[in-house]
Structure 1
Amino acid sequence: MVRIVYKLRPAPYWRIPEHESWFSDMAAKGCHLKKVGLHFAKFVKGEPKNTRYRIEASSRKRMEPEQIQENSEKGWEYVDGYQYFHVFSSPAEFNALELHQDPLEYSSQLKEVESQLSAKASISFFGLFLMMLLIASFWFIDGTPMLVLIEGVVIPQTVLTLFIANTTLNLQRAASSISALRRDLSDGKPIGHVAPEKKHHRLSAITAFIFTLIIGLSAILPIIQLVENEASTLPETSENLPIVRLAEVDQTPGLVRTEPSDFDEEIDWGNYYSVQWSPLAPVQYEAYESGVISGELWKDDSGDGEYLPTIHSRVFQLRPPGMSDRLMADLMKRYSYSSSEKNYAEINHPDVDSLVIHEEGDLKEVFASKGKTVLYVQYFGRAEMEDIIEQSIGKVLQFQ
């Protein structure tokens, strides 16, 4: 029965001596190279053998059959190729001739490989630049990076940008490695086949594993958010929802819910709530509610239109401690609009760690936190600020 073993490659793909030595070391342990992947190498278990490996760089990702045949006549069997590098093996007892006897000729052959890698690095750098501009606009355009991080929507795109940055760096390093190899060959120096100490191998393998793990987790993050996040029309009464309801702060007689603006929608977006998830805030609620009193005006007989109070709530249950203050500051920036910071007042309250209020006419806002819970309420109507504070603190304590 054939036994297959997969091993994380110990170095970036352009490090020729490290891979040649590693493949030989694995063969001596009874693991014989079968296929080389992006991060892993596939081996077949068997008897330990003393096998030499050589890697040939080529401008073609598929080795020409004529070249394979020529190397075979020298005693080298084609194993597999990855990127622009192709692996050949030969039993040590064959004492096969080196693939390239003329360093200058091989140096000329590598010029096209270097050019292709450099061109790809340039294209990748341009794409990376555009991605960085886009991501930076998401993170910093309104000066609320902590809120963006907590919401978690931009995390996959950010990791993708890091992946592109890593790819760009690898292409540039690969081009530089081939350039250095060409210089050595031009100076008449033969290719070295001795790898550095194995400590470097372990470090490269661990780094590649961690990076691969991060990329994998970021790939499934949008799927988790898609499954966990949901939006629904607010029920008329909901005692268990940890959000401040319009009827709890506005006691005006005759207040009823506004009619949906679009009857074709399954959700009344004028009266809805959503449940959201992110790695740093696994519990998030957001709600918007609007009401109307028929015949009631904003100001007595002023003709300013019907009285239409609204309330907008956001609640966050954070996972790591110590993020509440920064999140509150970002929420104030996100919803401050044209308001000045001097219009925000911090109040000491025995039941919460932090309480900030903002009032301008009929607009009233409350920012509160306790432990890992942060709440934001924006109300537009005639209710007193004290009622909004009382209800907001009650919802915060509901999480404790």
Structure 2
Amino acid sequence: MSDTVHRFLLVEPADMDRFEGWLEDMAHRGLHYRHSGFFFVHFRRGEPSSVRYRLEPMGSLWSRESQDYCRALGWDRLGQVGRDFELYRNPDPDAPELHTDPVVRACGLERVSKSMRFRSAVILLCLALYLVSAFLTLRPDDFWVERFVSGSALSLFPLALELLGIAAALRSFAAFFAIRRRLRRGVPSRRDGSWRWVAGSNIALLSLAGAVLLFSIWFFCASFTNDGWEGELDLVSEPYPILELRELEGEPSLETATSPTFLERFGYDAHNYVHCRRYPLLSEQYEVTQFLTDGGGYEPRLDMEWRRLSLPFLASPLLDELVYRYTEYNRFPDEYIVSELALPGFDRAVLAAGNRWPGQKLFLQAGNVVIYLDYSGTQDLTARPELLAALAQFDGR
């Protein structure tokens, strides 16, 4: 068995009293400090003993006289810890302290204090700039649920990780300044078991950061594993959900109204088209467009967005976003009459009827399925509830 034990850096050196208390408790358990890295502290197995550890600002005891004085008192220099400190060890619990006057020790921390104030200001400035840039591109009215289920909110996860890291750093800086203020008042350092609370909260932050990282990797993979397809309604062989516009109109003689521009320029009819996007860990989405004509002046149209979500609890918030996006968000509050309906087979149904021209917008939710229908014509979307119920029951086959 190796005589080296690795532990996460559970307490930041800036939290001086608790860091020293942590190392001393580890020595009581037979784990003696060897050296530290960015994330880990390495201990040597040995006999449990009452060892004392003390942090000193980098360079404060580098002179020959200072080193001779430390050795005379039994204090051995173990090396640098973090950016600002070096660590000293004394195996004799009764040996004199390196500092006996708290006020003098507080004065010796002045250079470290200036460095931490500067770093805190830089961190806060960078955070402010990051937040400003993030919300300039991702505004609060950007329909977050829809962005999420469509795989386009990946930029939120680095922000969450950065916020967690900043919270941990600022808390350790705050602990340092609290210690320094106490020393300046003449109150000596105290090394009790409070390091356990700090270590526990750091473990919670680390676990949360790990969960965010794993979730962001999952989300990234989900966003780029779209195995969708698309094509004209009369040509695709894949199954897809559809509310037949001819059946809704009740007029089989209506003909397909094609898109001459798209046919001429791109070679397909965009007026009667289906897009399928599948994000295996997020959602399955279909967009279906239908245009018909009676050969005269009547040309009904039906656009549909159909989504099956992998996270059912997002279905109702997504429906709310869609209602806002396609009614209130257009800044014409008198354009639609919006009302909640009770339709068989659906958990929620919201109808927006146009005031200025014939047409309706219908928003439906059944379990984890969310449907948006945009109809331009003279019929009533809610008059055929059996067609709507069948639409919600589409299972991909």
With structure 2 as the length reference, what TM-score do the two structures score? 0.74
Give the Cα separation in 1 of the matches to 2:169 and 2:195: 24
Q: How far apart are 1:149 and its partner, in Å?
A: 5.7
Which residue of structure 2 lines up, in the alignment, with residue 333 of structure 1? 324
Q: How far apart are 1:28 and its partner, in Å?
A: 2.9
Contact 1:260–1:270 (Cα < 8 Å) also in 2: no
Contact 2:259–2:271 (Cα < 8 Å) also in 1: no
Letter of the 1:232 counterpart: W
1:348 paired to 2:342: yes
Which residue of structure 1 lines up, in the alignment, with residue 127 of structure 2? 128
Which residue of structure 1 lines up, in the alignment, with residue 176 of structure 2? 178
1:224 paired to 2:221: yes
Q: What whole-Å deviation, never above 9, does each CA across 1:6-42 have from its counterpart, x for those lacking one?
A: 3344444422122212212223323233443555433
Rate the CA distance shift 1:197–1:385 in 2: closer, same or farther, 3 A.
closer
- Give the gaps of 5 or more residues in structure 1: 301-306
1:397 paired to 2:388: no
1:212 paired to 2:206: no
Q: How far apart are 1:332 and its partner, in Å?
A: 0.5
Give the Cα separation in 1 of the matches to 2:238 and 2:227: 19
Contact 2:301–2:376 (Cα < 8 Å) also in 1: yes
Contact 1:243–1:287 (Cα < 8 Å) also in 2: no
Give the Cα separation in 1 of the matches to 2:117 and 2:230: 54
Rate the CA distance shift 1:268–1:348 in 2: closer, same or farther, 3 A.
closer
* Matched length: 379
Rate the CA distance shift 1:126–1:218 in 2: closer, same or farther, 3 A.
farther
Contact 1:245–1:289 (Cα < 8 Å) also in 2: no
Which residue of structure 2 lines up, in the alignment, with residue 141 of structure 1? 141
Rate the CA distance shift 1:245–1:78 in 2: closer, same or farther, 3 A.
farther
Contact 1:124–1:164 (Cα < 8 Å) also in 2: no
SS in 1 for 2:393: helix
1:319 paired to 2:321: no
Q: How far apart are 1:355 and its partner, in Å?
A: 2.4
Alignment of 1:15-34 (within 5 A): 15-34=15-34
Contact 2:305–2:372 (Cα < 8 Å) also in 1: yes
Q: What whole-Å deviation, never above 9, does each CA across 1:27-61 have from its counterpart, x for those lacking one?
A: 33232334435554333444444432222244xxx
Give the Cα separation in 2 of the matches to 1:269 and 1:134: 40
Q: How far apart are 1:201 and its partner, in Å?
A: 4.8
Q: What whole-Å deviation, never above 9, does each CA across 1:75-116 have from its counterpart, x for those lacking one?
A: 3232442243333334337x6654446655543342232222
SS in 2 for 1:92: coil
Give the Cα separation in 2 of the matches to 1:231 and 1:32: 58
Which residue of structure 1 lines up, in the alignment, with residue 369 of structure 2? 373
Give the Cα separation in 2 of the matches to 1:245 and 1:115: 71
SS in 2 for 1:42: strand
Give the Cα separation in 2 of the matches to 1:328 and 1:343: 17
Which residue of structure 1 lines up, in the alignment, with residue 2 of structure 2? 2
Give the Cα separation in 2 of the matches to 1:110 and 1:99: 14
Give the Cα separation in 2 of the matches to 1:103 and 1:262: 82
Identity across matched positions, percent = 18
Q: How far apart are 1:333 and its partner, in Å?
A: 0.4
Contact 1:257–1:292 (Cα < 8 Å) also in 2: no
Q: CA RMSD in A?
A: 4.4
Q: How far apart are 1:320 and its partner, in Å?
A: 4.5
Q: How far apart are 1:287 and its partner, in Å?
A: 1.9
Which residue of structure 2 lines up, in the alignment, with residue 196 of structure 1? 193
Contact 1:270–1:288 (Cα < 8 Å) also in 2: yes
Rate the CA distance shift 1:177–1:18 in 2: closer, same or farther, 3 A.
closer
Letter of the 1:276 counterpart: Y
Rate the CA distance shift 1:205–1:386 in 2: closer, same or farther, 3 A.
closer
Q: How far apart are 1:328 and its partner, in Å?
A: 1.9
Give the Cα separation in 1 of the matches to 2:65 and 2:265: 71
Which residue of structure 2 lines up, in the alignment, with residue 303 of structure 1? none
84-93 or 328-337, which deviates more:
84-93
Give the Cα separation in 2 of the matches to 1:85 and 1:106: 13
Alignment of 1:228-267 (within 5 A): 228-234=225-231, 236-238=235-237, 240-242=239-241, 252-256=254-258, 259=262
SS in 1 for 2:224: helix
Give the Cα separation in 1 of the matches to 2:245 and 2:63: 77
Q: How far apart are 1:234 and its partner, in Å?
A: 3.2
Q: What whole-Å deviation, never above 9, does each CA across 1:241-288 have from its counterpart, x for those lacking one?
A: 345577876863244577478759xx999753222366xxx3231425
Contact 2:362–2:373 (Cα < 8 Å) also in 1: yes
Give the Cα separation in 2 of the matches to 1:255 and 1:170: 61
SS in 2 for 1:398: coil
